[in-house]
Chain A
Amino acid sequence: MSESGSMEGSFHLMGGDFTNAGSASSELKAKLVNFGVAQSIVRRAAIAAFEAEMNVIIHAVAGTMHYLITAEALTITVTDMGPGIKDIKQAMKEGFSTAPDWVREMGWGAGMGLPNISKHSDFFKLDTVIGEGTTLEIFFRLKERNADS
């Protein structure tokens, strides 16, 4: 359990790799626990990370999930080579999804991804270029670190 300093790393994400879906988020969750991040923040971060990971698996060719943990904040940055988001306002609306039918049959693509990320993070930033890809930066304040762990 480190009380100071920072930790960072990244995971590769493969578009269409449903078999390993959630692996990056699970590993990140374990790292947060080891770093001593409060349980309540770990839970929220794991949900946001998993949703961001699924967005890459469902929509993009490939991507990376980078994390930076400092004493003050956790930043999860997910960058992908994907189609980009045409209408961010619409994508933020719960229930709106561009996922194909077979993905929806798996129980994904309910249009809850970005809303879930928004709900469970302190704030997030979305940069997208049509035909090139999307970068999602998700922030969590860690001030209350160790408070309930």
Chain B
Amino acid sequence: MLTVSDVAEKLGLKVVVQGDLSEIVSGCYVSDLLSDVMAHSKERELWITLQTHPNIVAVAVIKGIAALILTNGRNPEPATIIKAETEKMTIMISPHSTFELAGLLYSMIKESRPSQAGPS
């Protein structure tokens, strides 16, 4: 079982807003379309995106996302940070591209639960 904190540590992610880092990660969803995330992401998944505006926090909160990860070293907008702090939603930044980060996370999640690997 992986926690948000395990993921942050193993992938060298910079935690910009700290929510509940002990939350257990159920998987990961990758999308920059917010309606797609609303329709297809699942509770306690990590969400990898390039979007940096405050609406990502609103979507993450309503979907019960474990943490947001922004790729390519993108920084969240100041308003996003304020909203995430209010909502206690973790936001982390990775220097990796979305493709690289998703690959790394896929392996990590697969190793942590070998029997349930694959798309969920």
Q: Which residues of A contact B (CB under 8 A)?
A: 18-19, 21-23, 25-26, 29, 43, 46-47, 50-51, 54, 106-108, 110, 112-113, 116, 119-120
Contacts and interface: CB of A to CB of B under 8 A. Distances in A.
Contact of B62 (A25, A112, A113): A25
Contacts of A107: 32-35, 49, 51, 55-56
A50 B36 contact: no
Given A51-B38, A116-B38, A106 B58 contact: no
A8 to B, nearest CB: 21
Contacts of A110: 33-36
8 contacts: A18-B54, A19-B79, A26-B61, A46-B62, A50-B62, A106-B53, A112-B36, A116-B39
Interface of A (DSSP majority class): helix
Interface of B: 32-36, 38-39, 43, 49, 51, 53-56, 58-59, 61-63, 79
Contact of B58 (A21, A51, A112): A21
A108 B58 contact: no
Contacts of B33: 107, 110, 112
A22 B35 contact: no
Interface centre among B33, B55, B59 (most CB of A within 10 A): B55
A106 B39 contact: no
A54 B101 CA distance: 30
Given A19-B54, A21-B55, A108-B55, A47 B32 contact: no
B111 to A, nearest CB: 29
Nearest to B50: A107
B58 A47 contact: no
A115 to B, nearest CB: 8
